Amino acid sequence: KAGVTQTPRYLIKTRGQQVTLSCSPISGHRSVSWYQQTPGQGLQFLFEYFSETQRNKGNFPGRFSGRQFSNSRSEMNVSTLELGDSALYLCASSDPGQANTEAFFGQGTRLTVV
Amino acid sequence: GDSVTQMEGPVTLSEEAFLTINCTYTATGYPSLFWYVQYPGEGLQLLLKATKADDKGSNKGFEATYRKETTSFHLEKGSVQVSDSAVYFCALRYNTNAGKSTFGDGTTLTVKP
């Protein structure tokens, strides 16, 4: 079974630009969650999508958005990039239909804003 | 709200030393508890989990017991190896909200030969 795939692995963007990151979950997993990891703030929850609907949302500004497609693949978008958005963005997939389900993480996308 | 507090790092040990990384949590309900490990340049890998009080999770020589009375989930290993050098994260999650995990700040472990 293929794991969670995130693309691209690395990105360099300029302040003010926008960026789109992609996450392909494990086959059969309908829940995709996104996290931002920075040295100062640690791992912070961005949002979760389940069956194409946003089910949970963290405390991030509206510049951060996401969506999920019918095949469960998810994208997150950050508009008007700021230097502070430089981070490792991780996505995790899970199968909520399983009791005590665990989340499987991708390798992340390293975003650098210059 | 819910939160997870891990012992501050970094932690440096010699090979074959005993490891303890403390983790305590604050929760409004009855979450499942997890330890994840992150190697340089990689995402998070699940190390072990416990879903209810007094459960013990174990994997690759690591153990942690869900202690409801002390709201703790300390990670232990009897004899660490150089290959255990990584960042360790404690986390909690509710089964009714499986898409959202709350993480501790992470503890960096370095094991020297």
Model confidence pLDDT, tens digit, residues B45-87: 999 999 999 999 999 999 999 999 999 999 999 999 999 999 9
Q: List the one residue out of A41, A83, A85 whose CA is nearest residue A63.
A: A85
Query: Could you tell me whether strands B86-93 and B101-103 are parallel, antiparallel, or unpaired per DSSP bridges?
Result: antiparallel
Among A50, A54, A1, smallest CA distance to A27 is for A1
Q: Do B99 and A107 touch (CB under 8 A)?
A: no
| Contact yes or no for A105 and B43 at CB 8 A | yes
For the record, the structure tokens of A1 come out as: 């079974």
Task: Name the residue among A43, A100, A103 with its Cβ closest to that of B51.
Answer: A100
Chain A residues with beta carbon closer than 8 angstroms to that of B95: 99-101
Task: Write the burial class of residue A5 (CB in 10 Å: 0-12 exposed, 13-18 middle, 19+ buried).
Answer: middle
CA nearest neighbour of B20 among B60, B74, B56, B66: B74
**Mean pLDDT in runs of 10 for chain A (114 residues)?**
90 98 95 93 93 93 97 97 97 79 90 97
Task: Report chain B residues whose CB lies below 8 A from the CB of A3.
Answer: none
Using a CB-CB distance cutoff of 8 angstroms, which residues of chain A are in contact with residue B99?
31-33, 48, 50, 55-56, 94, 96, 103
pLDDT in tens, B10-39: 999 999 999 999 999 999 888 999 999 999
Chain B residue closest in CA terms to A32: B99
